Amino acid sequence: MAGSFCKRKQGAIIPRGMRLFGRFFRRPAIIGRFANPIEKDDKMADFNQILDAGDVDGGIINVVIEIPAGSNHKIEWNRKLAVMQLDRVEPLAFAKPTNYGFIPQTLDEDGDELDALIITDIPLPTGIFLEAKVIGVMKFVDDGEVDDKIVVVPADDRHTGNAYNSLADLPQQLIKQIEFHFNHYKDLKKPGTTKVEHWGDIEEAKAVIRESQARWKAL
């Protein structure tokens, strides 16, 4: 452990991991009994203000991650508060088969931002955004409302060699898993209320995104 600690002038022992570029973190201001690490005038970034949908015509869009692949935590973007919110915990059997997120400055027919299914080998963390390549759309109905999912992969994927360029490039087993999940993930609460209608190609996906952009602009 030699060398893993450093001393302040007062002689306190501080782990090197608590330093940032050679300077110690400052303690947050204390208001009453509670720490307030955010300054008074600071505001949390709103994804819909700092990002748009991206280059839809070129097939490269911006996507924000809500739920990592493999998670049963239903995390949603709260547009009113501009924060990620844990809405509920689903049964583990219905953990998401892919990363799940949304496209900024879009509005689907259900009143929420247009959803995206992000295909990666390793789960992506909540709250990041990525440039993603559109490869198709899953046409989906949830309790009578259109709730389509745009299917994307990272725009720059050097692990796969950018091998996924359309839905036809995805493993058929993955397509079946995604379809099964969305047809059945509400079975314990509202059986039969969700349905995958069909899978659409890139041009159909772009059309869905453009329609959602128009709804957003009409707000």
Give the domain CATH number at 142.
3.90.80.10
Q: Is residue 8 part of a domain?
A: no
Q: Tens digit of pLDDT for each residue in 45-89?
A: 799 999 999 999 999 999 999 999 999 999 999 999 999 999 999
Q: Is residue 21 part of a domain?
A: no
Find the largest Cα–Cα distance for the chain. Answer: 68
Total domains in the chain come to 1
Q: Tens digit of pLDDT for each residue in 91-126?
A: 999 999 999 999 999 999 999 999 999 999 999 999
User: Judging by DSSP bridges, how do beta strands 99-102 and 34-36 pair with one another?
Assistant: unpaired
Instruction: Region of 174 please: left (phi>0), alpha (psi -120 to 50) or beta.
Output: alpha
Question: Residues within the annotated binding site for Mg(2+)?
Answer: 110, 115, 147
Q: Is residue 15 part of a domain?
A: no
Q: Which amino acid is at 218?
A: A
Question: Residues within the annotated binding site for substrate?
Answer: 74, 88, 100, 185
Question: Residues within the annotated binding site?
Answer: 74, 88, 100, 110, 115, 147, 185
Which residues have C-beta within 8 Å of that of residue 55, sequence separation ≥ 6?
61
Can you give the residue range of the structural domain that contains 195?
47-217
C-alpha span between 76 and 147 (Å, rounded): 14
